[in-house]
């Protein structure tokens, strides 16, 4: 065997050895629920959000609210928080911790009036977690960040319900309406919320005057990272 052939064989064998020993790099699978964390043992779902409103300096006195949490390019101008988590993914996460959806508010027509029917579903506690100026974790509720424009009374304490939005057939197939409209955690009643307040609050000013505003005293600055925590509430015995 000539020196040239021996050299070529050595190169080929060396390359084969490297190819055999080199670990194969496999990209991690995509996260099925981006921005969302599921804790079935605690009956808890958390997702990442951020403060959507700026109240200015000095604060604007009245920023009327229609949502607590929405998705981008939907209702940020009237929502406390905005999240990149898809509402349908939050729905799936809530199913994973054992919650059963009900239905959002509906309306029926009767002679001379429209009758609202409150949303239904398993009860859910809504909390907002962020870090203060000293880096300490702070847990807030909707009552801390929303107040009445009439008298400054905080948003009422209580649980929300897992309404579950609506699946509606269309030309492109079934659509989850909260994905389209951004109605993730509702304040006013649009009929498409994933998480809804159990008392109907009309979003139409001619039906019910807007009342609830962002609290200028307690809402963190625009863009502050916030974790939204949804916790299953056991049914009353």
pLDDT per residue over 108-153, tens digit each? Answer: 988 888 888 999 999 999 999 999 989 999 999 999 999 999 999 9
Within a domain: 174: yes
Within a domain: 28: no
Within a domain: 165: yes
Is pLDDT above 60 for 171? Answer: yes
For 52-108, give the secondary structure using H, E and C: CCCCCCCCCCCCECCEEEECCCCCHHHEEEECCCCHHHHHHHHHHCCCCEEECCEEE
Q: What is the pLDDT of residue 106?
A: 93
Within a domain: 27: no
Q: What is the pLDDT of residue 63?
A: 80
Is pLDDT above 90 for 9? Answer: no
Within a domain: 169: yes
pTM score = 0.84
Among candidate residues 84, 75, 80, the one with its CA nearest the CA of residue 36:
84
Is pLDDT above 70 for 167? Answer: yes
The whole-angstrom separation of Cα 200 and Cα 112 is 19
Phi, psi of 178 (to 5 degrees): -65, -30
Q: What is the pLDDT of residue 57?
A: 52
Q: What is the pLDDT of residue 179?
A: 98
Within a domain: 205: yes
Q: For residue 60, how many C-alpha atoms fall within 13 Å in the half-sphere facing its CB?
A: 10
Within a domain: 67: yes
Domain ranges, residue 147: 33-232
Instruction: Kindly report the length of the chain.
Output: 237
Number of domains in the chain: 1
Q: What is the pLDDT of residue 24?
A: 61
User: For the segment 88-97, what is each residue's pLDDT rounded down to a tens digit?
Assistant: 999 999 999 9
Within a domain: 52: yes
Is pLDDT above 60 for 54? Answer: yes
């Amino acid at each position: 065997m000539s020196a040239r052939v021996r050299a070529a064989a050595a190169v080929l064998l060396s390359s084969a050895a490297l190819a055999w020993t080199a670990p194969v790099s496999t990209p991690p699978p995509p996260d099925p629920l981006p921005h969302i964390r599921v804790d079935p043992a605690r009956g808890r779902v958390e997702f990442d959000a951020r403060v959507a409103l700026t109240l200015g300096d000095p604060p604007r006195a009245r920023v009327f609210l229609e949502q607590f949490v929405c998705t981008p390019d939907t209702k940020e101008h009237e929502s406390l928080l905005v999240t990149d988590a898809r509402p349908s993914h939050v729905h799936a996460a809530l199913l994973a911790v054992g919650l059963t959806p009900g239905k959002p508010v509906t309306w029926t027509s009767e002679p001379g009036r429209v009758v609202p029917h409150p949303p239904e579903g398993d009860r859910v506690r809504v909390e907002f977690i962020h870090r203060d100026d000293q880096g300490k974790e702070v847990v807030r509720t909707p009552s801390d960040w929303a107040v009445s424009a009439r008298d400054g009374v905080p948003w009422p304490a209580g649980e929300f319900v897992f309404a579950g939005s609506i699946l509606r057939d269309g030309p492109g197939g079934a659509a989850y309406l909260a994905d389209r409209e951004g109605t993730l955690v509702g304040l006013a009643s649009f009929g498409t919320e994933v998480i809804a307040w159990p008392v109907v609050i009309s979003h139409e000013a001619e039906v019910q005057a807007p009342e609830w505003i962002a609290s200028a005293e307690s809402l963190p600055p625009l863009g502050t990272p916030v974790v939204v925590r949804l916790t299953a509430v056991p049914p009353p015995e």
